[in-house]
A and B are shown apart, each in its own frame.
Chain A
């Protein structure tokens, strides 16, 4: 396995990083949960750590928060290594998955907890707690106990309790996981609004790719303890660099082939397709090319094309989903239902075309 050490690309050398992870590793007995990752998180961004369960995203967050001690590596917070410091000496605050509101304290006391530990009292304390409750839209509930609030309200209080301390970085550990779908959608937009309003760096752990795409400026995709790819949502979707990223974010058609030129790949059935030159840079031999199902057009007129027969179709209102058997492998295509009666029957032969610009290249499958 190669040590992947992506760094937030495009950031100028003078950029201010809130967090730098350098060679961070965490082992639990024999299991390597986080495997030598390095990552720069720049100031004021909404970062999402995205990946399937067990990919190491939560362990990474817990190391930043100070709840797990790294086996190796550095965690720089504003340029200072905090890897060995206890949580209470770090300028970060966490919104826990289960909210972790103190059940014996009122909402006011919950939100005031961090400020009081830092010696803030009296009118200043009341004002800051009041402002924080207002920020999350729950002013006036300060005398209640956590159990008297709904799940969504508790979630907001957990957010207020962390933000009121104005930390350098806010860590969010799957904070929306316990909410129902409608509330989750609402909170996604709300979190984004709050992040813009306060301008604090957010690091948000989630396994929900849609949630990450909706909220984050930058997404870090993790798998098996290492970082697969870092980038803006559109960059990750349009130019995934690994088969894992291509499959984890949305649906991809991956077709095996061999590089036969600067910008040409020969598929298994002999068809040659053109891909962006940059996508092949540094690669040779066997690769897989990828096209998103919505980028495929029925009929010719595009530089790349492939023919096959319709094996399955599913009408889903706004579009119809077809799976075609082609000599190069099965291909999924989404066709917009922009005309009536344009359905294609199973068994019919179709030619699909797509632009080279919409083609990405990932490593060949090792064995399946």
Chain B
């Protein structure tokens, strides 16, 4: 009996152990190493040494404030656009999709069958100076003659929006699909027009999906560098581009580590503020 009892007491820990070990080995340890490296000084030729080099942080903030701000601006814009575009789509599939639901969802996920890099390169072609998008936009006077879309911030935001759209649409779909239609009927029964029923019942009940979707879009978007690299220009570079070049080209590990850490800290802070503003229970439904 004692043995059985002991076994049951251990079970939760045994079940948690693989995940915890994974997180410890591949997240906590590297994170510690990141912090350690961010406080080193030196260079690749003479080696790096741990010197409590807080200066790495100050110079990252002072030197690349614009890139930091741009990262959050682009990620924020892309998140808002993705939300506005995805919500009606997810709504329509959830409530009007009928037997086509699964096929329609497959369409949303379909771009994932192509590599991220290839998809972004395709956008380079789509937005190129002689492509049909620029021609159309020129024709309707949204782009001045000879103007470009590629190599602008607009192209970067468009690329990010496109690439992260499924991360927004799928959680939205899941939360909308779970809404009991009799609640919408009940709102109509209680004198709410379709629009009021949406505002007072459907939308509030879909908030878990909105929160999940915005986080899943915003967090990776803020750290992205592929879109800015392929679709943007140096004036539309994001902090991800800087970290990439510090790490891969300049081999300045401490600076790259410090920037990564700052990026992470800011995102974490924003997520916490966001979670507090909308209520954490929205995250779990």
**Minimum distance in angstroms from B208 CB to a CB of chain A:** 10
Separation of A97 and B180 alpha carbons in the complex (Å): 12
The answer to whether A96 and B182 touch (CB under 8 A), given A102-B201, A103-B205, A104-B205, is yes
Q: Which residues of B contact A114 (CB under 8 A)?
A: 189-191
Q: Would you call B196 and A100 a contact (CB within 8 A)?
A: no
Separation of A88 and B196 alpha carbons in the complex (Å): 11
How many B residues touch A, CB cutoff 8 Å?
A: 18
- Cβ proximity bits B186-214 to A, threshold 8 Å, 1 near / 0 not: 11111111101000110011000000000
A-B pairs, 5 with minimum CB distance: A114-B190, A117-B191, A100-B186, A87-B188, A100-B182
Q: Which residues of A contact B182 (CB under 8 A)?
A: 96-98, 100
Separation of A161 and B188 alpha carbons in the complex (Å): 13
Separation of A117 and B195 alpha carbons in the complex (Å): 12
Separation of A88 and B200 alpha carbons in the complex (Å): 14
**Minimum distance in angstroms from B217 CB to a CB of chain A:** 23
Most B CB within 10 A of own CB, among A86, A87, A118, A165:
A87
Q: Which residues of B contact A113 (CB under 8 A)?
A: 187, 190, 192, 200
Separation of A161 and B192 alpha carbons in the complex (Å): 14
Q: Which residues of A contact B186 (CB under 8 A)?
A: 94, 96, 100-102
| CB-CB contacts below 8 Å: A78-104 with B | 86-88, 92-94, 96-98, 100-104
Q: List 12 A-B contacts (CB under 8 A).
A: A86-B188, A87-B189, A88-B191, A88-B192, A92-B189, A94-B186, A96-B182, A96-B185, A100-B182, A100-B183, A100-B186, A117-B196
A66 within 8 A of partner (CB): yes
Q: Which of A97, A98, A103, A161 contacts B190 (CB 8 A)?
A: A161
Q: Which residues of A contact B189 (CB under 8 A)?
A: 65-67, 87-88, 92-94, 114, 162
The residue on A at minimum CB distance from B204 is: A104
Separation of A32 and B182 alpha carbons in the complex (Å): 23
| CB-CB contacts below 8 Å: B142-200 with A | 180, 182-183, 185-194, 196, 200
Separation of A83 and B191 alpha carbons in the complex (Å): 16
Q: Which of B180, B190, B204 contacts A117 (CB 8 A)?
A: B190
Q: Would you call B185 and A118 a contact (CB within 8 A)?
A: no
Q: Which residues of B contact A161 (CB under 8 A)?
A: 190
The interface of chain A, by Cβ under 8 A from chain B, is: 65-67, 86-88, 92-94, 96-98, 100-104, 113-114, 117-118, 161-162, 165
- Apart from the given pairs A88-B189, A94-B189, 8 other A-B contacts in the complex at a CB distance below 8 Å: A86-B193, A87-B189, A88-B188, A92-B189, A100-B183, A113-B190, A117-B191, A161-B190
Separation of A162 and B183 alpha carbons in the complex (Å): 13
Q: Which residues of A contact B191 (CB under 8 A)?
A: 88, 114, 117-118, 165
The answer to whether A88 and B193 touch (CB under 8 A), given A98-B182, A102-B186, is yes
Q: Which residues of A contact B180 (CB under 8 A)?
A: 98, 100
Separation of A86 and B197 alpha carbons in the complex (Å): 13
**Minimum distance in angstroms from B83 CB to a CB of chain A:** 19
Separation of A97 and B188 alpha carbons in the complex (Å): 16
Separation of A104 and B187 alpha carbons in the complex (Å): 13
Q: Which residues of B contact A165 (CB under 8 A)?
A: 190-191
Separation of A55 and B202 alpha carbons in the complex (Å): 31
Q: Which residues of B contact A118 (CB under 8 A)?
A: 191
The residue on A at minimum CB distance from B207 is: A104
Q: Which residues of A contact B192 (CB under 8 A)?
A: 88, 113, 117
Q: Which residues of B contact A92 (CB under 8 A)?
A: 189
**Minimum distance in angstroms from B120 CB to a CB of chain A:** 39
Q: Which residues of A contact B204 (CB under 8 A)?
A: 104
Separation of A118 and B188 alpha carbons in the complex (Å): 12
Q: Would you call B185 and A67 a contact (CB within 8 A)?
A: yes
Q: Which residues of A contact B183 (CB under 8 A)?
A: 100, 102-103
Separation of A88 and B197 alpha carbons in the complex (Å): 10
The residue on A at minimum CB distance from B196 is: A117
Q: Would you call B185 and A100 a contact (CB within 8 A)?
A: yes
Separation of A249 and B123 alpha carbons in the complex (Å): 71
Q: Which residues of A contact B190 (CB under 8 A)?
A: 88, 93, 113-114, 117, 161-162, 165
Separation of A93 and B196 alpha carbons in the complex (Å): 17
**Minimum distance in angstroms from B238 CB to a CB of chain A:** 37
The residue on A at minimum CB distance from B285 is: A103
**Minimum distance in angstroms from A166 CB to a CB of chain B:** 12
The residue on B at minimum CB distance from A109 is: B200
Q: Would you call B201 and A87 a contact (CB within 8 A)?
A: no
The residue on B at minimum CB distance from A171 is: B189
Q: Which residues of A contact B205 (CB under 8 A)?
A: 103-104
Separation of A86 and B191 alpha carbons in the complex (Å): 9
Most A CB within 10 A of own CB, among B180, B188, B201:
B188
**Minimum distance in angstroms from A36 CB to a CB of chain B:** 25
Separation of A12 and B183 alpha carbons in the complex (Å): 40
Q: Which residues of B contact A67 (CB under 8 A)?
A: 185, 188-189
The residue on B at minimum CB distance from A113 is: B190
**Minimum distance in angstroms from A88 CB to a CB of chain B:** 5
Most B CB within 10 A of own CB, among A65, A92, A96, A100:
A100
Separation of A88 and B185 alpha carbons in the complex (Å): 9
Q: Which residues of A contact B193 (CB under 8 A)?
A: 86, 88
Separation of A102 and B197 alpha carbons in the complex (Å): 11
Q: Which residues of B contact A66 (CB under 8 A)?
A: 188-189
- Cβ proximity bits B207-241 to A, threshold 8 Å, 1 near / 0 not: 00000000000000000000000000000000000
